[in-house]
Structure 1
Amino acid sequence: MRGISFEIPNAYGKYLLELLDELNIKEWTWKIGAGESYVIQRDTLGKPLFPTKPLFSTACLLDGEELYRNISMDDYYLIFVDLKAFSKTSNVREIATYQEFVESDCQFVLLIVDCSYVTIYAKDQNTIQHLFLKATANGYGNTEYITDANDERTTLIAF
C-alpha cells in the first residue's frame, strides 16, 4: 500500500484537523507547497491559511506546532493543498514523484485538488490503515487504498 484517496465535502470546515489530529503532527516539520486555502472570515474567504513563500524561496516550512495552530483555530476552505511531513532532524527537500518520496526523508504527503479530492501517501502502513478507517468513519466518499497496481498519479504536487 502506498496510501489512500477519498473525497471530502466541498465546504468550509476543519478537514485537515479531522484527518491529521491523531498523527502527532506537532512532531514533524511540514513543507508547504504551492496551494490555495483560506481562513473563513465573516462567512467569506479571508486571509491565506498557510504563509506564502518568501520571494526567491524554494520552500515554506512550518513546525508542527504552527501547522496545528493554523488548522485548529478557525474554519477554512481548501482549494489546493500540498503538505509534506519530515522528521525535525531530516533533510527537507522538494518531492515531486513517488520515487523521490520513497528515496527521501519525507514520511507523509497530503494533497488536495479541486476542493474535494484527497490523496495521502505514507511510509508507515499502520498510518495508511488508520487513515482509511478514519475516512470511512467520517463518511468521506470513494475511499480506496492506493497500491502499486492502481496508482495513476504522475506527480506528488497539488497545484
Structure 2
Amino acid sequence: MNRGISFESPNEYGTILGEVLKPIDTTIFKWRIGNGESYIVVDDELDEALFSEDKKAIEGTELKKLLENNKYYIVFADLQAYPKGEFFEIETYENFIESKCELVLLVVDSCYFTIYCRNKETIELLYKNATDCGFEDIKYITDENDTRTRLSAW
C-alpha cells in the first residue's frame, strides 16, 4: 500500500512548497507548523523566517498566500494538514494513521522531500505533479520500503 512519495528537488531559492502542494487545495486545511528553518528571500538574500517561530498553526488561505506570493529558501520544514479542528502529536506513521491529519510534508537539507498522505488519489496527483515539475528520484513510499522511524524533519 502506498503511504506517500519522496523525491529530490533543486537546492535553490523559489516557491518550491507552493509547487509541491499545487495539486492540493491547501485552503481547506489548518496547517500545523513543526520545527523547521526557512527564510523569505529579499534581493537574493535570506531575510526573515518564512514561518514565525511563535506561530505553531496557520490557516490554509494564509499558507497559500505565503507560499505562492514569496520567494523563499527551505532548509528544513515539517508541515501537517488537518481538517479544521484539533491537532494530534504525530511522531510515527502509526500516529499519523490514528490521527485526523491528512498530509505530512517533510523537507530535509533543502532538497529531500517526503510526503505522507491519507488519500490514495492525492498521492497519485502528488506523484504526477512531482514528475511534471521535473523533480528527481521520485518514489512511492510503501509499507515495504518505508524505513523512516519518525515523521519529523529533525
Q: TM-score, normalised by structure 2?
A: 0.96
- 1:1-150 to 2 correspondences below 5 Å: 1-53=2-54, 60-89=56-85, 91-150=86-145
Query: Runs of 4 or more off by more than 2 Å in structure 1?
Result: none
Extract unaligned runs of 5+ from structure 2.
none
Moved more, 98-107 or 20-29: 20-29
Alignment partners' CA distance in 1, 2:32 and 2:54:
11
Q: Map Cα deviations across residues 32-84 of structure 1 (whole Å, 9 max, x no partner).
A: 00000000012110000111136xxxxx0100011111111121001000000
- 63-72 vs 110-119, which moves further: 63-72
CA-CA distance at 1:21 after TM superposition? 2.6
CA distance in 2, matches of 1:152, 1:49: 29
SS of the residue aligned with 2:124? helix
Of all paired residues, the percent bearing the same amino acid is: 44
Shift of 1:138: 1.0
Per-residue CA deviation, residues 109-139 of structure 1 (Å, 9 max, x unaligned), is 0000000000000000001011101101111
Q: Unpaired segments of 5 or more residues in structure 1?
A: 55-59
- Cα distance in 2 for partners of 1:20, 1:136 equals 13
Which amino acid in the other structure matches residue 77 of structure 1? Y
Give RMSD over aligned pairs.
0.9
Distance in 2 between residues matched to 1:26 and 1:52, nearest whole Å: 21
* Whole-angstrom distance in 1 between the partners of 2:54 and 2:128: 34
Structure 2 CA distance for aligned equivalents of residues 108 and 52 of structure 1: 21
- Paired letter, 2:12: A
